[in-house]
Structure 1
Amino acid sequence: MATYVLVHAAAVDAWYWGPLAAELRDRGHDVVAPDLPCDDESAGLAEYADTVVKAIGDRTDLVVVAHSMGGFTGPLVCDRLPVDLLVMLQAQVPAPGESPGEWWGNTGYGSAREEADRRRGVPDGTDEEPLSLVLHDTPAELAAEFLAEHQRTQTATPFVEPWPLDAWPTVPTRFLMASEDRFFPPEFIRATVADRLGFQPDEMPGDHCPMLGHPKELADRLEAYRAAL
């Protein structure tokens, strides 16, 4: 039995991990999916990591899965606890000393997103709705519940804090990308992962939140990673 530690993105709670958590528990695993202190002005990256470490407690056989901005927190947990595997799921990959706010410009996200939007025929300057931009492959009822009940105020505090590690933690790391994501376009993710982690990401179907649209396949992928250790 493993303990899957699921680290969520900015401005949301951990609800969206529910379908994946159910799949993993059905396979006999423990799941930890804490709510990060997104709306606490005093909480930065260290406090986000503290929250996850506290939720883990004395559990062992840890597999950390970090999604989106959770990519800044997941490696910090791996630096503090003995973790068997880190899976970056459509996640931001930080560089030493880089704040989450700096990540966008440093990675060339803006121009990459503009080019991807143009290829999709999205007019310049369009403020695309979340249902189209990040949840277009999510079942409609789950997308509606997510947007109506599980969005949270996100403070700026962690966005201005440098990522504190000098190097990537010594833990087996995989990157799994969702190949239909419009928010983090596929070409951008492939280039960023190759540049920062030195390997090509694996790919699965899905939008920015594949844990909602494809929980069974995501669980299969995670289990395959774990079995290959």
Structure 2
Amino acid sequence: MNDKETYVLVHSAWLGGWQWKNVSDILKEKGHTVITPDLPGHGNNSSTPTNITMDDYVKTITTILDKQMEPVVLVGHSFNGITVSRVAELRPHKVKKLVYLTAFLLRNGESFLGTVQSFKDSKAVENFYFSEDKTHALVKEEEIQNAFAHDIPKEAFDAAKAFIVPEPVAPLMYELQITAKNYGQIPKYYIECTEDRAIPLTAQRAMYKGNVKKSYTLNSSHTPNFSQPEKVAEILIELLSEY
């Protein structure tokens, strides 16, 4: 087994590739290659939210995968579990392992907006709203930390807050298209977060039970990449030995 891998880490809604810095640094110190792209409209990508679709997200990642000589470990956080599922469907030969970090692991035909309607006790869903022109989605500012990152210091959260961006609406409505032939052949892993106030633990387990090769547990909020980056990196390295 090649013990040096390439990880493609896909950020959550509202954030950007920057969210992975601490995890990425640890993986790189271990000799791995790490790619942390900004999806359109996020991070350093300034595309206008009005025009962004799920196809734009997917193309960003497939373009990266097409440049890789070997299959990668593809990781999706939160909403972009949907994105990595679609990418895996289109490029199954480019994905060695598929990892969901407290993410949406949906079935064929399901969507983010349809799925969250069944969530109970989600601070993110309770405080979720659309802009007046219905082009992007937000979470009430006063509840963002409580919903996503209650276990990191307020000072650290406030420093990151300036980089939070509106989330385009069109990808949130996308109905996932996957098949057993392509997506179904890829080994899948789930990292559940027991203190998550955005995707409740019951919802996480309902999504991944019977659908993954192995699950891992972190006693963390929705953003362990900030609160427990060492443990996230440790799991990502550990699952390399899973076959």
What corresponds to 2:56 in structure 1? Answer: 47
Distance change >3 Å, CA 97–CA 137, structure 1 → 2 = same
1:100 to 112, 118, 128: 112
Equivalents in 1 of 2:33, 2:142: separation in Å? 37
Local SS of the residue matching 2:167: coil
Q: TM-score, normalised by structure 1?
A: 0.84
For this pair of structures, how many residues does the alignment match? Answer: 214
Q: State how 1:167-178 maps to structure 2 within 5 Å.
A: 167=180, 168-178=183-193
2:173 matches 1:160: yes
Q: Which has the higher contact order (CA 8 A, sep 6+)?
A: 1
Q: State how 1:114-129 maps to structure 2 within 5 Å.
A: 129=143
Equivalents in 1 of 2:151, 2:58: separation in Å? 30
Equivalents in 1 of 2:222, 2:204: separation in Å? 12
What corresponds to 1:213 in structure 2? Answer: 227
Local SS of the residue matching 1:174: strand
Native 8 Å contact 1:142 1:212 kept in 2: no
Local SS of the residue matching 2:225: helix
Local SS of the residue matching 2:171: helix
Equivalents in 1 of 2:121, 2:185: separation in Å? 30
2:97 matches 1:85: yes
What corresponds to 1:188 in structure 2? Answer: 203
What corresponds to 2:129 in structure 1? Answer: none
* Superposition deviation, residue 210 in structure 1: 0.4
Equivalents in 1 of 2:121, 2:14: separation in Å? 23
Native 8 Å contact 2:122 2:147 kept in 1: no
Equivalents in 2 of 1:216, 1:74: separation in Å? 23
What corresponds to 1:202 in structure 2? Answer: 216
Equivalents in 1 of 2:25, 2:212: separation in Å? 32
Q: TM-score, normalised by structure 2?
A: 0.79
List alignment gaps of at least 5 residues for structure 1: 118-125
Distance change >3 Å, CA 182–CA 41, structure 1 → 2 = same
Native 8 Å contact 2:106 2:207 kept in 1: no
* Superposition deviation, residue 40 in structure 1: 3.4
What corresponds to 2:29 in structure 1? Answer: 26
Native 8 Å contact 2:22 2:225 kept in 1: yes
- State the one-letter code of the partner of 1:181: D
Native 8 Å contact 1:6 1:17 kept in 2: yes
